[in-house]
Amino acid sequence: MAVTAPRVAPAPALDVERVRRDFPILERSVNGRPLVYLDSAASSQRPLPVLRAVEQYETHTHANVHRGVHALSQAATEAYEGARERVRRFINAHSTREIIFVRGTTEGVNLVAQSYARPRFGPGDEILISGLEHHANIVPWQMVRDQTGCTLKVAPINRRGEVELDSFLSMLSPRTRMVAIAHVSNALGTILPVKRMIDAAHAHGAVVLVDGAQAIPHSTVDMRTLGCDFYAFSGHKVYGPTGIGVLYGREELLAAMPPWQGGGDMILTVSFEKTTYNELPWKFEAGTPNISGAIGLAAAMDYVESLGLEAIAAHEHRLLEHASRELERIPGIEIIGTAHHKAAVLSFTMEGVHPHDLGTILDAEGVAVRTGHHCAMPVMTFFNIPATARASFACYNTEADVASLVAGLGKAREVFS
Amino acid sequence: MDLKELYRDVILDHNRRPRNFGRIEPADTHAEGHNPLCGDRLTVWLRLKDGRIDDIRFEGKGCAISTASASLMTEAVKGKDKATVQSLYGRIHSLLTQQDAVPDASLGKLAALSGVREFPVRVKCASLCWHTLNAALERGAATVSTE
């Protein structure tokens, strides 16, 4: 997957068997069958280098950061701040002052909603999102709408599951203060033309937040090329730990924003009369942070780069195309989301078999897929379905995994014949 | 993990051809149930007579377990009073959640739901209709949630 368009140059092949050996969990069985993990869009598995980095930190280095003069505290601080620099390089931000560690994408979006939007917006102002958004990029803006009296607008999608770009562009106006869009749809896999959307939004003076949760594991994401104002993502979708994520924000915006949460670490001086806030990025990191999470995330980024993002993207794209072809041949299967540009997500329904039943039957075969509304109920409503089954691919998936999925779907057909 | 235990013939039959499917108009009471985990939604409609369920229908979209459970329930509770319905639900709930529960003969076809207990995440699918029926009986029109 590329940021804005499919790449033409052939990427180096991924040695998937070697990659799989890095993920110990893939050796286990589920319900007496070898695990076939096709739910990486919900959470990816962690490779040994990530597990070891966290273990190494926990067994040798742990202390609180930014607080002590003792050796461990210094080492922990160095590792934590080193992780921040690692993230900066990964997304090519200008400065570590632009890298805020948060719990995940959801917290990143909420931080921007409450600290950037809420104090500034009022009646007449507009926030524009798309019809593809995850609840985490809908609800925080509804809260801001209710708190400030501003208006929340939604750019429509088409039957392929793409944002109607013309409608999106026509909904931009000088009233648009914030555009909040997914980079890749979690429910359907659609890759949004974010660069074009960002440029158009900027032409109207709007600030843009991109929900990058589903893009970051599959593509090179470059803040300077993209030019967005905020970009949020989660560690656990890019082979890192849960409970750690990143909010990137342009420094001048972050500098002008009030802190979101108050507490330790985000202050310089405190008296009962007045508190001076810390500098960026610590101003937004109240309390003891998820130190081992940040270290694990940095290790995950090292790992991903060692494989090569282009190689991962090419591998996943081949798998997606292969799986799409295989599923299209099965009578009664309908693929939901047929955008021209898609990342490693395959959402589908099977006639006569509810996705929840599909999920149970596949699980009995050791095949893990997500079933449900994928925290994107408006997308389900648009397609007039209660739910889908979703297979998603990562660097460790193979054509054999797709074959297991197909066999499992055959089993489901058998049960419900 | 035996799929045949979950998807017994009775369950598959009631999923394919749900009994008492549709709505009662006018109904004496109805309630909507929603399971946010899987998106199952159903509405239970009741006509009551002398404190008993004179007629019951349901409609909605759901998985096989939720549809079959609702269908089986409508057959089981027709003609029953509230106390009997609640006692029946108590026994169904034990059947769904307790590993050693033995279905007693009075449960009839509802005993087919005992396979659900091997699949804990599916218990809510089977119990949604009962919560909804209870809500309809308790407070007339209302929305209940399994969450």
B63 and A356 within 8 Å at the Cβ level: the answer is yes
Residue A239, sorted as left (phi over 0), alpha (psi -120 to 50) or beta, turns out to be left
Q: How far does CA A372 lie from the centroid of its chain?
A: 18
B6 and A31 within 8 Å at the Cβ level: the answer is no
CA distance A405 to A292: 35
CB B85, CB B76: distance < 8 Å: no
Stretch 30-49 of chain A: residues touching chain B, C-beta under 8 Å: 31-32
CB A180, CB A209: distance < 8 Å: yes
Nearest alpha carbon to residue A284 among A30, A138, A103, A102: A102
Stretch 227-256 of chain A: residues touching chain B, C-beta under 8 Å: none
Which residues of A fall within a CB distance of 8 Å from B12?
A: 415-416
Of B1, B3, B38, the CB nearest to A356: B38
Beta bridge partner(s), residue B21: B58
Which residues of A fall within a CB distance of 8 Å from B119?
A: 360
Which residues of A fall within a CB distance of 8 Å from B37?
A: 372
Q: What is the pLDDT of residues B43-79, one digit of tens each?
A: 999 999 988 999 999 999 899 999 999 999 999 999 9
A150 is catalytic: no
Distances (CA, A) of A207 to A113, A154, A249, A253: 12, 16, 11, 10
Q: Is the pLDDT of residue B143 over 70?
A: no
The residue assigned the tokens 């149930």 is B33
Q: What stretch of H or E contains A247?
A: strand A245-249
Angle between helices B64-77 and B123-139 in degrees, nearest 10 = 40
Q: How far is A372 from chain B (nearest CA, A)?
A: 5
Q: What stretch of H or E contains A234?
A: strand A230-234
Question: CA quadruple A377, B130, B72, B122: dihedral positive or negative?
Answer: positive
Which residues of A fall within a CB distance of 8 Å from B39?
A: 372-373, 377, 380, 386-387
B62 and A386 within 8 Å at the Cβ level: the answer is yes
- What burial letters (b/e) apply to A250-260, b meaning 16+ CB within 10 Å? beeebeebebb
The residue assigned the tokens 């089954």 is A389
Q: Pick from B7, B38, B124, B128 the residue to mutate for testing the A interface (most A CBs within 10 Å).
A: B38
Q: Is A389 helix (H, G, I), strand (E, B) or coil?
A: strand
Q: Is the pLDDT of residue B38 over 90?
A: no
B37 and A372 within 8 Å at the Cβ level: the answer is yes
Q: What pTM was computed for the model?
A: 0.93
Which mean pLDDT values do the consecutive 10-residue runs of chain A (417 residues) have? 48 89 98 97 98 98 92 96 98 98 98 98 98 98 98 98 98 98 98 98 98 96 98 98 98 97 90 91 96 98 97 97 98 97 97 95 97 92 94 98 98 94
CA distance A95 to B98: 57
Question: CA quadruple A181, A186, A187, A190: dihedral positive or negative?
Answer: positive
Distances (CA, A) of B113 to A164, A411, B103: 46, 21, 9
The residue type of A344 is A
* pLDDT value of residue B146: 53
Q: Pick from A336, A349, A356 the residue to mutate for testing the B interface (most B CBs within 10 Å).
A: A356
Which residues of B fall within a CB distance of 8 Å from A361?
A: 3
The residue type of A278 is N
Q: Pick from B7, B63, B65, B124 the residue to mutate for testing the A interface (most A CBs within 10 Å).
A: B63
CA distance A272 to A142: 35
Q: Does A416 touch chain B (CB under 8 A)?
A: yes
Stretch 105-124 of chain A: residues touching chain B, C-beta under 8 Å: none
B61 and A386 within 8 Å at the Cβ level: the answer is yes
Q: How far is A360 from chain B (nearest CA, A)?
A: 8
* pLDDT value of residue A2: 43
Two tokens at B39?
A: 């998106």
Comparing A96 with B107, which gets the higher pLDDT?
A: A96
* pLDDT value of residue A5: 47
B122 and A387 within 8 Å at the Cβ level: the answer is no
Mean pLDDT, chain B, integer: 89
Of A354, A371, A416, the CB nearest to B62: A354
